[in-house]
Structure 1
Amino acid sequence: MERAVVEEAAKKSALVWVRGPEGPARALWHVWHAGAVCLVGDGPDEQPFAGLGLADGARATVTARSKDKGGRLVSFTTLVREPAPGSEEWAETVAELKGKRLNAPDAERIAERWARECRVLRLTPAGGTEPLPDGSLAAAPLPTPATTRDRAPGSLPKLLLRGRRAR
């Protein structure tokens, strides 16, 4: 029954939280294919895996979320596998990932770029599900060079409301 819950949750959610042996969990887009969470990253224009410690043979924890509410559905332990570029397993995984990759700058040659510059990973469930936590798992945001603006100008609400009244 646990296997069915894991598979259904991973299929329905386009985003999973992955916590590797190192660092905090990170949200990553994925595809569920042939019994595994399939990921592509660590290259230009792709999601970063740095700091997670996702090496071939390592263990990682994957948390699938609800597609409509965004809440945690299930967490499960996985075994990380990195198929060799050009292998049959790699080609099958990339074929599935290509169909879900949005806004790729080079959609027609994406498999060549992934083979040359990126890592393709398969996270296969290896064990049961983890119990849901009792409390909040909120964590401080990761450091980033992005900043927010200062307070909004006092006249901004008037400007925004004036545009609505004119309609």
Structure 2
Amino acid sequence: MDPRVFDRALIEESAKKSALVWVRGPQGPARGLWHVWHEGAVCLVGVSGGAAAEGGEQPLDGLGLTDGGSATVTCRSKDKGGRLIVWPARVSEPEPGGELWEATAGELKGKRLNAPDQDGLLERWARACRVLRLEPAGPAEQRPGAMPDGGGAAPPLPTPAATRVAAPSGLPVRRGRRAREA
């Protein structure tokens, strides 16, 4: 079987079955985003530029996703949840109100859970959000049989909450089971 045909089929099936894909743009770390697979692309909706208060959708800030730009998409396995395929994508942003935008936004609307304004959802998206299509743009970078040796986990971002400090001296000492049995 031609590897390109296998890659395309695996990309489509994994994107259809998973409610979440990991998207890495030219900037920043990868981010998990909800999406739908529609007409050969991963389609997603989100807000940029600090418009989260008005948009109420997933943030796209820090990813650097621009119309005509590129991204890397990671799909996970439905049964195990592990990385299944990683592929390069071409980003396109259909013009709000256009035929492609209406079709894409309509598909996204059908999968959007718990929207606060289901009746005016498309109008809000046209006004305050970005609808993006991530179309496969080349052979898969990682696939079954061609995975890297490392785990691929990114180191955690620095935060003062992760700093480990000594336990306060006023806390009672916990003894293990063996100490109590002896």
Q: Same fold (TM over 0.5)?
A: yes
Structure of higher CA gyration radius: 2
Partner of 1:135 in structure 2? 150
* Alignment of 1:74 onto 2:79: no
Distance 1:39 1:145 in 2: 32
Provide the TM-score with structure 2 as the length reference. Answer: 0.77
Distance 1:99 1:10 in 2: 16
Distance 1:65 1:103 in 2: 24
* Alignment of 1:4 onto 2:9: yes
- The verdict on how the C-alpha distance between 1:136 and 1:33 changes in structure 2, with shifts beyond 3 A counting, is same
Deviation (angstroms), 1:66: 1.3
1:28 aligned to which of 7, 12, 33: 33
Partner of 2:112 in structure 1? 101
Secondary structure at 2:135 match in 1: strand
Root-mean-square deviation (Å)? 2.2
**Structure 1 unaligned spans of 5+:** 155-167
1:24-58: CA deviations, max 9, x gaps? 00000000000000010014311111111000011
Q: Percent identity, aligned pairs only?
A: 67
Deviation (angstroms), 1:81: 0.0
More strand by share: 1
Provide the TM-score with structure 1 as the length reference. Answer: 0.83
**Structure 1: which 4+ aligned runs deviate by more than 2 Å?**
140-147
Deviation (angstroms), 1:125: 0.3
Deviation (angstroms), 1:133: 2.1
Distance 2:43 2:159 in 1: 26
Distance 1:141 1:58 in 2: 27
Partner of 1:123 in structure 2? 134
Distance 2:70 2:155 in 1: 24
